[in-house]
Chain A
Amino acid sequence: MQPRLLEIRKGVLDKNDQLARRLRDRFSSAHTLAINLVSSPGSGKTLLLEKTLASLRSTGYRAAALVGDLQTDNDAKRLAASGVPVRQITTAGNCHLEAQMIEDHLEGWTLNDLDFLFIENVGNLVCPSSYDLGEHLRVVILSVTEGEDKPLKYPPIFHSSDLAIITKIDLAEAVEFNRAAALANIRAVRPEMPILEVSAKTGVGMAEWLRFLLVQRAAALMAIEN
């Protein structure tokens, strides 16, 4: 018996991607800049977000955050202390967030009241890279304590990001962080990637990061109006 072929040609993540596009349109029309933060576990997503939310709030911007976590609501509690709306997405062992989880957790929030929506993804450099969450910006975080070769070990997540933040730079000297190698490795997998160097602990580089966010939001608004 001859085997026959039935052509299908369907993207495995089509469903997620379609929903993500709808979400992005919703965010855009509400003038909400959506940011997806990805990194290995413990790179500093939550601390950076705590400081970012507090700064934005004190300068009059309205932000909210969705936090993915495998099991606990520790990060959501930490973020809620900054006084902005925060919701926990418990993934029950799932190693990444999907667009559907974002949509489900937006219920009851008025996007028009938000200038920024931050999404803290599950700490993982592999799985989140395949899932568009409807964000405008994907930001990958690499801390100085985890080695300069992470971009070469996990190219898709670095490649799919729009900005790389090197965090914990207050510890750079202590861990003999090789800055040149880190920059070169990031740019090898994503030429022209903008890179910021930040310490959420001491505040170094935070102003540049906040400026980056405001510029991106302004650019997104311009794009909508044209």
Chain B
Amino acid sequence: MHELSIAHNVVEIASHAANEAGINRIQAVHLKLGALSGVEKDSLLFCYEIAAEGTRLQGSRLEIDEIPVAIYCPHCDDILPLPGVQALCCPRCGTSSADIRQGYELEVISLEYESSDEPELSL
């Protein structure tokens, strides 16, 4: 299960950013997770708790924004989100397309913290 090593990376990235910004109490980490990222949401949530233990992220939430795959359909000349990842073809006209415009995301987007905990930008 690679979700544990992914979760450790998330914790490391978030801790580092919080440290630089002088934030102590992080309430949540917001993450974008594409359907083709190869990472499973539920196991990542589970592993996040383990990875956060003993760090400043202990007790924080991991908020996962799941991003569906979207392809460009040359026939419709449009970018369309797909209901799944099992068939890379246009949901409107059925044309198959490997021109993927979204769905690979595996990205820490932001940290949520309490406003009393003002960041002091120390560079």
A positions within 8 Å CB-CB of B = 1-13, 15, 94-96, 126-127, 129-131, 152, 155-157, 159-160, 187-192
Please state if B36 and A156 are interface contacts (CB–CB under 8 Å). yes
Count CB-based A-B contacts (< 8 Å). 109
Please name all residues of chain B whose beta carbon is closer than 8 Å to the beta carbon of A2 when the two chains form the complex. Answer: 115
Measured CA separation A127–B37 after assembly (Å): 10
Please name all residues of chain B whose beta carbon is closer than 8 Å to the beta carbon of A1 when the two chains form the complex. Answer: 114-116
Measured CA separation A202–B30 after assembly (Å): 52
Q: Mark B1-24, 1 if CB is under 8 A from A, else 0.
A: 110011001100110011001010
Extra contacts, 11 of them, besides A13-B9, A130-B38 (Cβ < 8 A), are A2-B115, A5-B112, A11-B108, A126-B2, A127-B2, A130-B39, A130-B106, A156-B38, A157-B38, A188-B96, A191-B98
Main secondary structure of the interface of A (DSSP, over half): mixed
Partner of A94, one of B5, B10, B86, B106: B5
With A6-B110, A10-B107 as known contacts, state yes or no: A188 contacts B17, CB within 8 Å: no
Main secondary structure of the interface of B (DSSP, over half): mixed
Please state if B38 and A9 are interface contacts (CB–CB under 8 Å). no
Partner of B112, one of A4, A94, A157, A191: A4
B positions within 8 Å CB-CB of A = 1-2, 5-6, 9-10, 13-14, 17-18, 21, 23, 27-28, 30-31, 36-40, 85-89, 96-98, 106-116, 119
Please state if B108 and A3 are interface contacts (CB–CB under 8 Å). no
Please name all residues of chain A whose beta carbon is closer than 8 Å to the beta carbon of B39 when the two chains form the complex. Answer: 130
Measured CA separation A131–B39 after assembly (Å): 11
Please state if A9 and B107 are interface contacts (CB–CB under 8 Å). yes
Measured CA separation A189–B13 after assembly (Å): 31
Measured CA separation A21–B29 after assembly (Å): 28
B12 to chain A, nearest CB (A): 9
Please state if B107 and A4 are interface contacts (CB–CB under 8 Å). no
Measured CA separation A95–B106 after assembly (Å): 19
